[in-house]
Structure 1
Amino acid sequence: MLYEKERQEVVDTCLFMVKENLVVGTAGNVSIRIGDHVVISPSGVDYETMTAEDVVVYDMAGNHVEGRLKPSSELPLHIAVYENTDAAAVTHNHAVSSTALGLIVDEIPPSHYYSAMFGGIIRVAPYAEFGTDALAENVARALDGRSGALMKNHGAITIGPSLSKAVNLLPILEYVCEIQLKVMATREPIALLSDEQIESAVAGMANYGKQPALDQ
């Protein structure tokens, strides 16, 4: 089976999203880019029963390569992201707070320095019907220079150099959205970070979690 390891990684990531309450039912999708190929979760398959064989492989032109099931309806979205960014993996979900916040803002104001983990202020891509080229284009623009975005009337998306890095951003994005919703509900003035403070945080986050090499 082609890309067996990566296909299992997609399954494991889908199960992680279920465990973390980041998806409802079979909503959401996951993919990995390997050269000219995209390994992507299938459409409408229960994550709890999904196997590596259920995960499918397509090329960057949208042509079927391997797998017996239909790909996620968001295959065009994943391909567009790969064409317009240097991402090697994409995770998309429909978690409650990120979906809710995307209904009322066009960007997430810089109320928490975690925005720096996504490259700065987090944008909300304008609505377009799921599975369409229009949605793919909107989201690709929202991700310009960013590792995460919201999708109006839809959900959220994160990208990264690996699937683990991409999916680990989803709970953080959900946290940022939940905080913003709660403070907005108070109707009190919200303390925001300045452009300079966000830029400084972005620079700081570039080395976040990196440990110096140990002497051998």
Structure 2
Amino acid sequence: MAEQRRDERDGRYGRGAQGVSEPRRRKVHAEEASAWRELVATARRTVADGLVVGTSGNVSVRVGDTVLVTPSGVPYDALTPDDVTGVDLAGRQVLGALVPTSELPMHLAVYGGTDAGAVVHTHAVHATAVSTLVPELPLIHYMSAALGGAVRVAPYATYGTDELAENMLLALAGRSGCLLQNHGTVTYGATLAQAYDRTAQLEWMCRLWLTASSVPGRTPALLSPDQLAQVADRLRGYGQPRG
């Protein structure tokens, strides 16, 4: 049964019986080409900012009914404009010859269960450390409100599995980001820029909590749910007015 389920999943993602990519290719549209360039830049930024190491982590963006996603096992600095890798919302590969990330089930689950326009998954050090210590990130800073509230930790499951995707969706309920136990982070947003900003904010808050909680004999002061709700109201109108 396990073998059958794996075969069905591999077929759904456009892979042959031997795991070789068999993409259903079509021409890349101009909007997809532009989105791919932004996706590669965002993926490289995760490395430059120390949120991932090597080929760990992955990034995706939705363009219509197509999800552009970083390929499996390819260093981000080696990606080119010709490496566009995309799947449809059912997970069938429609663009490129490179095999999509092994975390494709997780990305597709986010798009299927939320209004996400982009998803960023990292192995950020401080966030991953917090995921091993608590069931949710304590309310150490008001920017928790930007993610919908206290950031939950999804129970551990093997990477690339449906179980991990299901655990992640439960942790994301009412949130735009979560921690993956002993693994990393997932955030989403309307755009790649917003998804990335939420990733960076989450890692910073995790670092803040670890720093404060490491002081001997002291317990960090935390925000109350009411205080966080007040911030959430203010954040809704934050930024420059649109004319």
Verify same fold: TM over 0.5: yes
Q: Distance in 2 between matches of 1:4 and 1:159?
A: 21
Equivalent pairs counted in the alignment come to 213
2:162 alignment counterpart: 133
- Please name the residue that 1:193 is paired with: 223
What percentage of residue pairs aligned between the two structures are identical?
A: 47
Separation in 2 of the partners of 1:213 and 1:110?
A: 31
Could you state the TM-score of these two structures normalised by the residue count of structure 2?
0.85
Gaps of 5+ in 1: none
- The alpha-carbon deviation at position 164 of structure 1 amounts to 0.9
Q: Distance in 2 between the 1:185 and 1:31 partners?
A: 35
Would you identify which runs of 4 or more consecutive aligned residues in structure 1 move more than 4 Å? none
Q: Is the 8 A contact 1:10 1:55 kept in 2?
A: no
Alpha-carbon RMSD across the aligned residues, in angstroms, is 1.2
Please tell me whether residue 152 in structure 1 is matched to residue 181 in structure 2.
Answer: yes
Higher strand fraction: Structure 1 or Structure 2?
A: 1
The one-letter code of the counterpart of 1:180 is W
Q: Is residue 2:57 matched to residue 1:28? A: yes
Q: Are the counterparts in 1 of residues 33 and 84 from structure 2 also a CA contact under 8 Å?
A: no
Question: Of 197, 201, 225, which aligns to 1:168?
Answer: 197
Alpha-carbon distance between aligned partners in 2 of 1:166 and 1:135, rounded to the nearest angstrom: 20
Q: Distance in 1 between matches of 2:130 and 2:84?
A: 31
The secondary structure found in structure 2 opposite 1:91 is strand
Question: Given that residues 7 and 53 in structure 1 are in contact (C-alpha distance below 8 angstroms), is that contact kept between their aligned partners in structure 2?
Answer: no
Higher relative contact order (CA 8 A, sep 6+): 1
**Aligned partners of 1:85 and 1:144 also within 8 Å:** no
Counterpart among 68, 75, 79 of residue 50 in structure 1: 79
Match of 1:80 in 2: 109
Distance 2:225 2:242 in 1: 33
Q: What's the TM-score, normalizing by structure 1? A: 0.95
Where structure 2 has 5 or more consecutive residues not aligned to the other structure, the ranges are 1-27
TM-superposed CA distance for 1:12, in Å, is 0.6
Matching residue's letter, 2:233: A
Give the deviation of 1:34 after TM superposition: 2.1
Residue among 14, 17, 24 paired with 2:46: 17
